[in-house]
Amino acid sequence: MLAGKRVLWPLTLLNLCLTILGSYTERFDEKLTIKSLQDGKVASIFTFTTLLEGATPRNPRALGSDDESQHYNVFPLALGQILREYGVSELHLTLNAGNWNYDRWGYPEEKGVGTGAELWAWMGDGAVTTIDQRWKGLRNAMAGLFCASLGTLDELRTTSPSETFTPEGSLPTWDVPHRIRHASLPSENVCTENLTPFLKLLPCKSLSGIASLLNPHRLFDADWHGMGVHVLWRQDKGVEVRLTFQTVSDPLRYSLNKMQDWSLQTLFDRTICQACPVAQTSQVLVDLPKGTPYSIKPEPSSTERNIAIFQTKTFNMPLNIGISWPWAYQYPLQYKADLIPLSVKRTLRGTSQAWGRLSITITNHLSATVEAVYLETMPWLLQFYLHTLEARVDGVVKDGIISNISYIPPVSHSRPTTFHAVLTLPPKETVQITMDVTKAFLRYTEHPPDAQRGWDLPPAIITPLRLLNNNDSSTLPLDGRIYTSALLVDLATPDFSMPYNVIIFTCSLIAFIFGSIFNLLTRKFVVVRLDVDKSL
């Protein structure tokens, strides 16, 4: 302890010197938001933000030459190197498992809740290498960094939906255009091996601070969990890296007498034992329940607008925050259906493995017309018949709901479909949009090892844009993308044990017919006199 105190002053001085000598000031904040949802579940959102003040993304024109050295203390070096190597202006990677239930849980705090892996990036053009080559390098580098199979997000899954995935931050104003590349892999599984490199990007790792609550046993047991890496540039501040982890856990599952109570110990099986010394602010925000009595322990540092704020550094460690209710939880008879303006459900109908029908049902809960953007990025396996696109309200076909269709057709064994339409949804109505699709027949080598499982299709994304004729003064949040669930399509498989047999059968038949025709064409008929043996 004494020796530690002796080293403390030189270390702080060294830290200060390095911080001054290094190019930028860095700032690390951590935050945990906990909300109780209406079906008894608890949503926890971990947000770790590192800000590199004054920095800008690397100009793609400089990609050919050596980069200037970057000195980071708190900013994750592995991620920073990847960003500078490929000249990425904005990057979003999410690895989610489960289906976010918008009707019961409302809008998530981090908008990217599509199942599986989703990676999208805005990059400036004008470098020596093309954007697609840099995208490929970026995918593979992120795959290596996060131990996720992001390298398979190749041309079969990459599209450029620039209207739906608008930049969250600002894009630097170089005189080159910025392009987006987006790919999603719904079949990606998320587990501890993805969490470990995620934690390594944090300055305190999982040893202290709020990150010490990230217990993989509990996190991956949750009803829904997803991690995200978001890199953006804020023009007046600098480059921001935001690492997020969202979970929806179910305390009712663990409680013996249907109590909705939760605490950090029951949710994560851990408590905050030590504050992260590098964090500027370390907060836990708890949404306080409305309308029912409750008790919250310990007392929050401050409360504003129904949110209890705990500044963890001012509390005694170990810190265990929790809420308890006096009565057992009652499942509501009917869930409030107006947490978000639109409810979306997408299904693939049809029993044939040759063709089917894609159907998407959107319910508008508002009493004003909503204009929304509908985006489908479908791999080439499922090909749309746009001429069969129909919108029905109450079973009656209606024009005027779908407009402004922009469509990039798929290329077999290559580019996916990008279908983008503007929907005008009438108030308080359910619209059903259907379209015929054909299912592809793949080559032997294109089928995955478990071919009978089928292929996962990425979610469709509905983005509400604006309200038209808004008579109602209530303002529901219209921001954010709504992801539908991923679909599973089973394609017809050939018999995998038969390649040799098929070649043999077909070639034999062709040879037989060819041989007979060859015989007939090259031989001539001859009349032969039969000698009748007179002696017999």
Q: Taking the complex as a whole, how short is the minimal distance between the CB of residue 413 and another protein, in angstroms?
A: 7
Taking the C-alpha atoms of residue 272 and residue 145, their distance in angstroms, rounded to an integer, is 27
- First and final CA of the chain: distance in angstroms? 128
Please state whether beta strands 461-468 and 390-393 pair in parallel, antiparallel, or not at all (unpaired): unpaired
Q: At its nearest, how many Å lie between another protein and the CB of residue 351?
A: 6
Q: Do the bridges between strand 355-364 and strand 342-349 make them parallel or antiparallel, or are there none, so unpaired?
A: antiparallel
- Shortest CB 518 distance to another protein, Å: 8
CB nearer to another protein: give 474 or 522.
522
- Residue 432: enclosing H or E segment and its boundaries? strand 430-439
Q: How far is CA 74 from the centre of its chain?
A: 26
Query: Residue 214 Cβ, how far from another protein at the closest point, in Å?
Result: 44
3-state secondary structure of 451: helix
Q: Which of 62, 246, 156 is nearest to 446 (CA)?
A: 156
Least distance in angstroms from the C-beta of 404 to another protein = 11
Closer to another protein at the Cβ: 302 or 535? 535
Q: Please, which residues have CB within 8 angstroms of residue 253's CB and are 6 or more apart in sequence?
A: none
CA–chain centroid gap for 120, Å, is 9
Nearer to another protein, 115 or 418 (CB): 418
Comparing CB distances to another protein, the nearer of 337 and 503 is: 503
Q: Report yes or no: 377 and 417 within 8 Å, Cβ to Cβ.
A: yes
Contact between 109 and 246 (Cβ < 8 Å) = yes
Q: How far apart are CA 137 and CA 86, in angstroms?
A: 7
Query: Residue 5 or residue 523: which is nearer to another protein going by CB?
Result: 523
- Say if CB 419 and CB 382 are below 8 A apart: no
DSSP state of 319: B
Q: With respect to another protein, which residue has the nearer C-beta, 259 or 386?
A: 386
Integer Cα distance of 279 and 49 in angstroms: 10
Minimum distance between the CB of residue 462 and another protein, rounded to whole angstroms? 22
Q: Give dist(CA 244, CA 48) in Å, integer.
A: 6
| Minimum CB–partner distance for residue 118 and another protein (Å) | 24
- Residue 214 or 402: the one with the smaller Cβ distance to another protein is 402
Nearer to another protein, 254 or 441 (CB): 441
Which candidate, 156, 272, 225, 206, places its Cα nearest to that of 48? 206
For residues 142 and 496, give the distance between their C-alpha atoms in angstroms, rounded to a whole number.
34
Query: Minimum Å distance from CB 480 to another protein?
Result: 30
Angle at 141 between CA 137 and CA 145, to 5 degrees: 170
Site of interaction with another protein (CB under 8 A): 351-355, 380, 383, 385-387, 405, 407-415, 417, 436, 438, 441-445, 492-495, 498-499, 502-503, 505-506, 509-510, 512-514, 516-530, 532
Nearer to another protein, 427 or 454 (CB): 454
Report the nearest approach of another protein to the CB of residue 198 (Å). Answer: 37
